[in-house]
Amino acid sequence: MYSFSEEEKRQMCDEIAQFFKEEHDLDLGVIGTGNIFDFFREMLGNRIYNKALDDAKKFYETYANNMESDYYAMYKDVR
């Protein structure tokens, strides 16, 4: 599983705290936001990573399929 730097984790925890304050009027401390961050990273991290790989695969498959038609489109007429 990908690990974030302490700075990245702190920034995301700050954003979590801000979200809960604005949306639910809850003040979460460092431990609370850290627990929420860890929970979602464990629950969603691998799923999001795998989805990104699937999306990249689809993109490159489309690119490869278009490459063949683009290749033949460059052919010159021969008489």
1 band by pLDDT with thresholds 50, 70 and 90: low
Mapping DSSP onto H, E and C, the string for the chain reads CCCCCHHHHHHHHHHHHHHHHHHHCCCCCHHHHHHHHHHHHHHHHHHHHHHHHHHHHHHHHHHHHHHHHHHHHCCCCCC
Q: pLDDT tens across 8-58, in order? A: 999 999 999 999 999 999 999 999 999 999 999 999 989 999 999 999 999
Q: pLDDT tens across 13-24, in order? A: 999 999 999 999
Instruction: Judge whether 26 lies within some domain.
Output: yes
Query: In terms of residue numbers, what domain contains 35?
Result: 6-73
The number of domains in the chain is: 1
Q: Which of 40, 44, 43, 42 is nearest to 52 (CA)?
A: 44
Instruction: Judge whether 1 lies within some domain.
Output: no
One-letter amino acid at 79 equals R
65 band by pLDDT with thresholds 50, 70 and 90: confident
pLDDT of residue 32: 95
Instruction: Judge whether 29 lies within some domain.
Output: yes
Instruction: Judge whether 78 lies within some domain.
Output: no
